[in-house]
Structure 1
């Protein structure tokens, strides 16, 4: 029995992981880890205690940094329907130790494996895969036909 553990911190769920057998002994694991959307996570209009944002005011076609305003003022300005204005936050990561993007590994097995009995589980960013070896009794000797030239 082979046991594989693949760390995928920040993975959304099993829908972000693909596993395929490329041949009888090569397993491909491919996962997509998405970037964190700061706007969606921290700047919803349901909470009054949001971080300060830098607002960009667009008066016509030229964009200028007008002033720093809180998210609450930002929302109030949007609700009042200020004509010709556009408010966009410029939140940026101060520290980001998380990798995002596509992860891919090919795992080659030295002996024959039972690809129909593989089991996989995902728990807290850890992908665990059990790959059973083929039973030695199940392996059949096959004769190779030799043609005369």
Structure 2
């Protein structure tokens, strides 16, 4: 049995009640689908303090700040876009760490080649991580100070602080 992300038909079968997928109108002949990395919309928390708007978005796996663009499309609309790629660097590091022991020195070259070929034949069973292009747009209800906007990226969290524009207070003018 193949297992695909969010494959409810197979989930209901595993639970032992085939009538559930009929109840939820899931066709029994549904073929598994393979997700292609097309694009996604990252999750953001947006909150307001008395002096600023704060946006915190989840971009797990993003380390290269140059892969994110933050810009104002008008005086009150912020656009966040970029690209996240699946990294095979961890797989490469794992393969390098599989060094032969002293006893295996004679077989070292053969084993290293076999491990490399085996690792190159990796098949994903489930691929649910968000990769590809992403874009989010945010409109602010009040005037913002575009010159004082700050952004940081730490541990996969993009934080954008957008200060509110300080409104000039009213001033009474006396007639002389």
TM-score (norm 2): 0.52
Counterpart mapping for 1:48-63 below 5 A:
48=99
Cα distance change of structure 1 residues 95 and 48 upon mapping to structure 2, 3 Å threshold: farther
Q: Indicate whether 1:43 and 2:95 are aligned.
A: yes
User: Secondary structure of 1:116's partner?
Assistant: helix
Q: Distance in 1 between matches of 2:142 and 2:112?
A: 62
Higher helix share: 2
Deviating above 6 A after TM superposition, structure 1's stretches of 4 or more consecutive aligned residues are none
How far residue 28 of structure 1 moved from its aligned partner, in angstroms, is: 0.6
How far residue 41 of structure 1 moved from its aligned partner, in angstroms, is: 4.0
Higher strand share: 1
Q: Distance in 2 between matches of 1:97 and 1:124?
A: 19
Aligned to 2:59: 8
Equivalent of residue 117 in structure 1, options 143, 148, 151: 148
Aligned to 2:162: 131
Unaligned runs of 5+ in 2: 1-51, 101-107, 170-176
Instruction: Give the number of equivalent residue pairs.
Output: 108
TM-score (norm 1): 0.61
Aligned to 1:108: 139
Q: Distance in 2 between matches of 1:42 and 1:32?
A: 25
Larger Cα Rg: Structure 1 or Structure 2?
A: 1
Q: Distance in 1 between matches of 2:113 and 2:78?
A: 54
Q: CA RMSD in A?
A: 2.8
Q: Indicate whether 1:73 and 2:104 are aligned.
A: no
Q: Which string of whole-angstrom CA distances, capped at 9 and with x for unpartnered residues, describes residues 92-128 of structure 1?
A: 2244331111110011111111000001111101111
Aligned to 2:69: 18
